[in-house]
């Protein structure tokens, strides 16, 4: 039973469940910062799913780029908005422990999963057999997909320009 509980499949289902619950809390949330933190939990759970599916490179990118860069961008934007217009301004303050307990449970489940994965030598071996190496991804990326990489670089450049243009502070009274 214990071996069954710590198999790759059951860990995948647990991480998927965490991802779904955290995403539901994001969509139904009222506090922007709480929703952002739930989004981080959801992305980390999906990263564990990637790792269990044999894509450690994608899992690392998910943590570094999604949870590390894009979510920090969100947090910066929320800081610039100010929370004065948030939906929670007129709601009664809820400061009891039950508010934090759900998020802590979700994050703790992910931590337990990581510890179980690291400690289990058999699982490491079976995961290692199904890995698609980052070398194969790199060869694919700069071989058949070279044009797509170039177009992605154009996309990033245009995103940079558009972000700079729209967030410029000096326009007064112009169109949106």
Partner 1 sequence: MTVIPLFHVLILSTLLFAIGFIGVVARKNTLFILMSLEIMLNAVGVAFIGAGSVWQQADGQVMFLLILTLAAAEVAVGLALLIRMQKKYRSLDIDLLNQMKG
What are the C-alpha distances in Å from 21 to residues 2, 110, 135, 153, 155? 25, 13, 34, 34, 32
Closest CB to partner 1 among 28 and 96? Answer: 28
Phi, psi angles (nearest 5°) of residue 64: -75, -50
Query: Alpha-carbon dihedral of residues 118, 25, 87, 62, nearest 10 degrees?
Result: 40
Q: Binding residues for partner 1, per CB under 8 A?
A: 7-9, 12-13, 16, 19-20, 23-24, 26-27, 29, 32, 35-36, 39, 42-43, 46, 49-50, 52-55, 57-58, 61-62, 65-66, 69-70, 73-74, 76-78, 80-81, 85, 87, 126, 130, 132, 136-137, 139-141, 145, 148, 152, 155-156, 158-160, 162-167, 175-176
Nearest CB to partner 1, comparing residues 97 and 173: 173
Angle at which helices 32-52 and 71-81 cross, to 10°:
180
Q: What is the sign, positive or negative, of the torsion defined by CA atoms of 48, 49, 54, 59? A: negative
The smaller minimum CB distance to partner 1, of residues 48 and 97, is found at: 48
Least distance (Å) from partner 1 to the CB of residue 111? 20
Q: How far is the CB of 99 from partner 1 (least distance, A)?
A: 19
């Amino acid at each position: 039973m214990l071996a069954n509980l710590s198999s790759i499949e059951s860990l995948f289902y647990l991480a998927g469940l965490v991802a779904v619950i955290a995403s539901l809390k994001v969509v139904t949330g009222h506090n922007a910062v709480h929703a952002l933190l739930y989004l981080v939990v959801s992305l980390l759970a999906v990263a564990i799913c990637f790792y269990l599916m044999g894509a450690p490179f994608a899992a690392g990118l998910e943590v570094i780029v999604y949870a590390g860069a894009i979510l920090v961008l969100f947090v910066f934007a929320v800081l610039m908005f100010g929370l004065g217009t948030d939906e929670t301004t007129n709601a009664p303050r809820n400061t009891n422990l039950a508010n934090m307990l759900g998020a802590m449970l979700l994050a703790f489940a992910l931590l337990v999963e990581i510890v179980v994965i690291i400690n289990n030598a058999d699982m490491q071996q079976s995961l290692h057999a199904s890995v698609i190496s980052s070398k194969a991804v790199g060869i694919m990326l700069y071989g058949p997909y070279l044009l797509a990489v170039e177009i992605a670089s154009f996309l990033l450049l245009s995103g940079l320009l558009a972000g700079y243009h729209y967030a410029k502070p000096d326009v007064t009274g112009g169109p949106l």
